[in-house]
Amino acid sequence: MTSKELFDRAVKVAPGGVHSPVRAFKSVGGTPVFFESAQGAYLQSVEKKKYIDFCMSFGPLLLGHRDPEVQEQVLSMVNTAWTFGACEPYSLELAEWMTSSLPWLEKVRFVSSGTEAVMSTLRVARAVTGRSKILKFEGCYHGHCDSLLVKSGSGLAGASASDSAGVSPQVAQETLVTPLDDIEALEKVFAQHHHQIAAVIVEPLPANFGLIVQKQAFLKKVAELCEKNCTLLIFDEVISGFRVDLGGMAALTGIQPDLVCYGKIIGGGFPVGCYGGKKAFMDYAAPSRRVYQAGTLSATPIGMCAGLTTLKKAVREKAWSVLKQRTESFKQQLNGLFLTHGVDFKIAHHPSLFWIHGSKMEHPASLTEIPLAHGENFKKFFHACLEEGIYLAPSGFEVSFLSLAHDQKVLDEALEKFSKALQKFKGSMKGAP
């Protein structure tokens, strides 16, 4: 069966043929590749073609696909237990490890996705403060819970302001939105609504609409206004947590959030989300108090042990500093290739996340600095790369990732392939958008 044949079947049984929208290749066009296996930094399609993977399932695979150590622990758990719906020691181990490693986590609760983690923190914040509004930032994506599908990430880029059909106006009204990197707008919103804002939720490293690295001064101002107005500060570290550093952006910025959301890496490739923070806030969650939140498969043993094994190995291998260095030098070499081929792309990166883009600035800090026409150029670049055996995330506004499996040998091979792809692509590059 080819990818094309499989996709023709898939569209008959799933909306758009997929189970999560970006997978459908809508923004790059063409038929999505169907993969049958993965190992390390490589994917293999049903056509038996090999690809170097920079999408990495959109972030969870810090160590690469099927890291041998994680795989061994997972297989042993498969032979031990799948789910109890009862107390077990595996989630305790991960919870103790997290709370002892990260000072802003006094208590944690495991859920099954980043979306669930985010939803739960909003409920806790509303209960704690007795207020109902949530402030978010334009271009930040926080999963697909109703109230936050307002000016969110790349999967929704190009959609109208309301982003998703099916969200009631009453619910959307509870969400205030202000631009990133704009202190003045932020102060204005607080001046107007301070007594109503339960929480500010922010991706401290916005990485779902390109990579829009925020200035420390902006994040500090957010934290300061929260503190002054008794508003909870929620860091959505679903993508940045355990990715940019062991302590995520909270560690890199030195800003301690009241509540934090994790996902992606925390499950080591299995569906795990987590929210946590100060004891006084976390204890609002049932059964301690009355914020109801539950999950049949929450803290599933396989996810718990994949997550803990991943994190322990990352610490042991100094994953964060290794990846930072590798990404820095890879970026320089790739930039060199863009220059050689006269292609007007740049790379924004923050430790091991990187984004190939066509903005004027290397690190755009706000949405207005991102030329939306980049999507068109990226489309052609994406397919040129795909042909050479490089799998990037299928959208010009999604970031790419390095994993520990992307060693020098893999990266050298990738640079060769990028060079060939650029050779083909450069003729079709549209003038700077």
Ligand X SMILES: *Cc1c(COP(=O)(O)O)cnc(C)c1O
Hey, which residues are catalytic here? 141, 236, 264
Among the listed ranges 40-48, 110-118, 214-222, 379-387, the one in contact with ligand X (CB under 6 A) is 110-118
Nearer to ligand X, 263 or 268 (CB): 263
Q: What is the smallest separation between the CB atom of 243 and ligand X, expressed in angstroms? A: 10
Give me the count of residues in the chain.
433
* Phi/psi of residue 302, nearest 5 degrees: -65, -45
Q: What is the smallest separation between the CB atom of 263 and ligand X, expressed in angstroms? A: 4
Nearer to ligand X, 206 or 358 (CB): 206
Q: How many binding residues for ligand X (CB under 6 A)?
A: 14
Using CA atoms in the order 398, 403, 408, 409, what is the torsion angle rounded to 10 degrees?
-90
Please report whether residue 110 would count as binding ligand X according to CB under 6 A: no
Please report whether residue 306 would count as binding ligand X according to CB under 6 A: no
Hey, which residues between 224 and 243 contact ligand X (CB under 6 A)?
236, 238-239
- Provide CB contacts within 8 A for 223, sequence distance 6+: 233, 255, 257
Please report whether residue 143 would count as binding ligand X according to CB under 6 A: yes
Please report whether residue 203 would count as binding ligand X according to CB under 6 A: yes
Q: What is the smallest separation between the CB atom of 285 and ligand X, expressed in angstroms? A: 19
Q: What is the smallest separation between the CB atom of 398 and ligand X, expressed in angstroms? A: 10
Nearer to ligand X, 32 or 241 (CB): 241
Compose the 3-42 pattern: x for residues touching ligand X by CB under 6 A, - for all others: ----------------------------------------
CA atoms within 13 A on the CB side of 273: 23
Give the whole-angstrom CA distance, residue 383 versus residue 391. Answer: 9
Hey, which residues between 35 and 74 contact ligand X (CB under 6 A)?
none
Strands 232-236 and 42-45: unpaired
Please report whether residue 102 would count as binding ligand X according to CB under 6 A: no
Q: What is the smallest separation between the CB atom of 56 and ligand X, expressed in angstroms? A: 12
Strands 273-277 and 197-202: unpaired
Please report whether residue 210 would count as binding ligand X according to CB under 6 A: no
Q: What is the smallest separation between the CB atom of 262 and ligand X, expressed in angstroms? A: 10
Compose the 263-292 pattern: x for residues touching ligand X by CB under 6 A, - for all others: x---------x-------------------
**Which residues sit at the interface with ligand X, rule CB under 6 A?**
113-115, 118, 141-143, 203, 208, 236, 238-239, 263, 273
